[in-house]
Structure 1
């Protein structure tokens, strides 16, 4: 009887697993986002209406790193079709054989923010890494620069920083006194890299390291940090929920996220069609309804009012005081700098 019960339970488990697999296979496309508010915004503005227009169903999943897609590709068991990347990660994913080259006519590149589309990825949202600070502690307008973020004597308190070299290295170079236009030339030298890592290390006694956008929002809302260097949309979400913080866009690092198609996915042709569809301005224009990110498709900006533009890092007023990330630099140096960053964190 025990054996029979075991066999019955095993059979039931197989049916459950098989049913889940069939459910996933039944979807027309499987799309993966970064989780949290960003993914919820993509779902509402892009994925749901585009799927409805196409008459499709889709499955969604969440991932914080393209290396999870690499694990699927390497194992030969790919369940995802579309993943979201930052443009600075694209070359790494290409070199690792994780994503496919897209059709040249998938979008009209002249309609997009410069640098937000390449042969492998189509831009979806534009964001920047910026400083936000507690106005109750420091005063409205008190924090004016990246240098102020590093000045723990004038502005004592906890600092929130992303557990990654991306953004932090650039900010450290500016904190050292260099202009944004000089950042990547400086980081292209061994002396420059060392100086930037040493500068980041100065904040280790004051740092709370966050690993996801949702965590950055929560740290800000809960008042666990007094200043934070993070993604503008996640910080704006905390402000919208009542956090007494203000964003300073000065010397913000402009970047874009993009959608790529995973090599060997179950629905590659559909994935290409879906990326093309969700990149249209009629969907992209609605992103700011749900998060303070503008879309990469410039045609989406035509009808935004001043209030909407004031919240977007990609507005003309804000872009003129920021600078773009150099995706080629990160494509060439990302792996080595990530290893050096981890070593810096572990060092006493």
Structure 2
């Protein structure tokens, strides 16, 4: 999964995310470079053409002279976004498009509040996007964005899905291959399954995962998780704390597997994939995984709202989503997308019926309403 700067920041992924290398803060994705920073002019009038919008397309040359910045979580995920959608969009539309990252909510907030918005389209966590709709984020224009190929319920007033992935349990096959963990109860059972286990330890990253896993381990039914009983969850976390290793970025979580430092880990599925592809002797227990998605959003006060909407519409095309999945393992969000995948990559697609039957649904609406309180609980527990 993505890199995880977040303030609660991934998502990387974030919220999705095997890293093959960081993307430079201002990597130019067209042949013409522009500076990152400064509000700048909004550019010429945007003519996106007549007739209904078609997902995955943009009028040739429609954004010539328009400067744009796309922001995401870095690593193989953002490189995949660049190759699958951002570069082709720049070529087709004529926009001069640079990339920035990683996504940082504090920076986005500062841009909006100072009326100096230089980020045009931002990849964010879905919980944060729901909480900031009509605040830091503006409503999307669905006369420009064709959402007809997005799975039902995933497009919201201020966001559309960027991709889908999972928060999963990975375990060392060398140590547990004959008796693998079957779910989060085993993850927290340090007597039957001794060894170190890794979880997200970023105090600014209150997100679905650790609390839900701890409650499931303590016997709470999946359909009774919300509202989260944080005190009960923290008792489970406290009992396992001597065995816990904390990671703060997606890259760190992957490295813990590749180095063999931990025997189990709760991490983003893309990071687990990256470690396994690189030869780490781990497997994923998909039972009780948490489905997650990143979202594409547009900050309030963006330089050219129409251009931002056009980029999102292009990104959501079937061909773009197919290539993104082939490059990153993250599940496509266009129902017509049919990526060509090898056996390992196919096993990480989270949107098949078989995988969805193993998922524990996350109540994103509850999280959006309670994220600030959860952030306090989480940071206090980490510091205790």
| 2:354 corresponding residue in structure 1 | 317
Conservation of the 8 A alpha-carbon contact between 1:140 and 1:246: no
Q: Structure 1 residue 85: deviation in Å?
A: 1.3
- The structure carrying a bigger helix percent of its residues is 1
SS in 1 for 2:117: coil
Cα separation, 1, equivalents of 2:345 and 2:338: 10
| 2:150 corresponding residue in structure 1 | 112
Alignment of 1:30 with 2:69, yes or no, is yes
- Stretches of structure 2 that go unaligned for 5 or more consecutive residues are 1-33, 41-64
Q: Structure 1 residue 292: deviation in Å?
A: 1.7
Alignment of 1:333 with 2:370, yes or no, is yes
Cα separation, 1, equivalents of 2:37 and 2:382: 44
SS in 1 for 2:78: helix
| 1:170 corresponding residue in structure 2 | 212
TM-score when normalising by structure 1: 0.86
| 1:40 corresponding residue in structure 2 | 79
SS in 2 for 1:290: helix
SS in 1 for 2:166: strand
Counting only pairs closer than 5 Å after superposition, residues 248-287 of structure 1 correspond to structure 2 as 248-287=285-324
Cα separation, 2, equivalents of 1:142 and 1:81: 45
Deviations 1:133-188 (A, max 9, x none): 11112115611111110011111111111134421111111111122222124x1x
Cα separation, 1, equivalents of 2:345 and 2:193: 31
Conservation of the 8 A alpha-carbon contact between 1:24 and 1:59: no
| 1:60 corresponding residue in structure 2 | 99
CA, structure 1 residues 149+325, in 2 after alignment: closer, same or farther (shift >3 Å)? same
| 1:301 corresponding residue in structure 2 | 338
SS in 1 for 2:225: helix
Aligned residues: 323
Q: Structure 1 residue 256: deviation in Å?
A: 1.1
Alignment of 1:85 with 2:127, yes or no, is no
CA, structure 1 residues 216+109, in 2 after alignment: closer, same or farther (shift >3 Å)? same
Cα separation, 2, equivalents of 1:55 and 1:141: 56
Cα separation, 1, equivalents of 2:153 and 2:256: 31
Q: Structure 1 residue 126: deviation in Å?
A: 0.3
Equivalent residue in structure 1 for 2:249, among 212, 220, 229? 212
Deviations 1:178-209 (A, max 9, x none): 22222124x1xxxx221012222323222222
Conservation of the 8 A alpha-carbon contact between 1:313 and 1:319: yes
Conservation of the 8 A alpha-carbon contact between 1:72 and 1:79: yes
Cα separation, 2, equivalents of 1:21 and 1:146: 43
| 2:273 corresponding residue in structure 1 | 236
CA, structure 1 residues 71+153, in 2 after alignment: closer, same or farther (shift >3 Å)? same
Deviations 1:94-113 (A, max 9, x none): 26x21110113344545223
Q: Structure 1 residue 22: deviation in Å?
A: 8.5
| 1:182 corresponding residue in structure 2 | 224
Cα separation, 1, equivalents of 2:36 and 2:357: 49
Instruction: Select the structure of larger CA radius of gyration.
Output: 1
| 1:147 corresponding residue in structure 2 | 185
**RMSD, aligned CA:** 2.3
- Stretches of structure 1 that go unaligned for 5 or more consecutive residues are 1-18
